Chains A and B, each alone.
Chain A
Amino acid sequence: MTDNVFDQAQARAALDAAEQARTAGHRAAGRWARRYLLGFGAVSAGSVLAVWAASPWVPSAWWGVWYALLVVLFGAWLRRQPVRAIPRRTQFLTILAWSIVFGFTMAVGIDHPVAYPIGAAAGFAVWAAAAWWVGR
């Protein structure tokens, strides 16, 4: 009887400990994913605004290089995260949606500079939506 009670108590203690560790992992995952996604959203929005400011002096051909640098930055930054917890599907869809917004902004911005701030806001919204999705 004593053994049974002891086993039960041990089992419950182990389950509680596992639940606490799981909760800690879940919180850390959400925190780092949000930080990463919102951080990159801010950087990508800032980059579009930088393009807006520099567009009168920089040939549009350079924006492809700019885009490639951002993707490299995205990967390097992701690699530095202490916790990686963004689902691959979310990551892929976010990059895809942001790439469409970025490309459309660059294409339209050449003739209509007002597209840059709108594109910056839309791009940030893509990352913010991903952050919300991951942290929900």
Chain B
Amino acid sequence: MAYLSEVDRAEFALVRDAVEVTAAALSKQVSTLEEAGYVTVEKGYVGKRPRTWLTLAPAGREAMARHLAALRAIADGQSR
């Protein structure tokens, strides 16, 4: 989600390589995020090759911001 927050949309394979997980692991995570409405998945073709594009939905962007804020609160609060 952090990777997708910087782009309008990105190809599944590119995200997989960037976050260094297997296609199966990413696929499982994407399915969960898609069910939650955090990520939208678009399938199509470039020439004859199938492609899957991932987009961070507005709800996902908000959820990620909340999650990061909570993480910062934990990190900051306990370091004082």
Using a CB–CB distance below 8 Å, which chain A residues touch chain B? 4-5, 7-8, 10-12, 14-15, 17-19, 21-22, 24-26, 28-29, 79-80, 82-86
Rank and list the top 5 A-B pairs by shortest CB-CB distance, nearest first.
A25-B6, A21-B2, A25-B3, A11-B74, A8-B78
Asked if B59 is at the interface (CB within 8 A of a chain A CB), the reply is: no
Inter-chain contact B75/A28, CB cutoff 8 Å: no
- Is B35 an interface residue when CB atoms closer than 8 A count as contact? no
Contact B3 A8 (CB under 8 A): no
> Known contacts A7-B74, A8-B75, A11-B71; is A18 also within 8 Å of B2 by CB?
yes
How many Å lie between the Cα of A14 and that of B79 in the bound state?
A: 16
Instruction: Report whether A22 and B72 are in contact in the complex, using a CB–CB cutoff of 8 Å.
Output: no
- B16: min CB distance to chain A, Å: 11
Contacts of B18 in A (CB 8 A): 21, 24-25, 28
Bound complex: CA of A25 vs CA of B3, how far in Å?
Answer: 4
Count residues of B near A (Cβ-Cβ below 8 Å): 25
Q: Is the CB of B2 within 8 A of A22?
A: yes
Which residues of B pack against A, CB within 8 Å? 1-11, 13-14, 18-19, 46, 53, 64, 68, 71-72, 74-75, 78-79
Is B71 touching A83 in the complex (CB atoms < 8 A)? Answer: no
Q: Pick the contact of A15: B3, B14, B53, B68 (CB < 8 A).
A: B68
Query: A11 to chain B: closest CB distance in Å?
Result: 4
- Tell me the number of A-to-B contacts counted with CB atoms below 8 Å: 75
Q: List 6 A-B contacts (CB under 8 A).
A: A7-B74, A8-B75, A18-B2, A24-B18, A28-B6, A84-B53
B42 to chain A, nearest CB (A): 11
Q: Evaluate contact between B75 and A11: CB separation under 8 angstroms.
A: yes
Tell me the bound Cα distance from A63 to B9 in angstroms: 33
* Contact A7 to B4, CB < 8 A, known contacts A15-B72, A28-B18, A83-B10: no
* A79 to B45 Cα, complex, angstroms: 10
Report B-chain residues with C-beta under 8 Å of the C-beta of A17.
Answer: 2
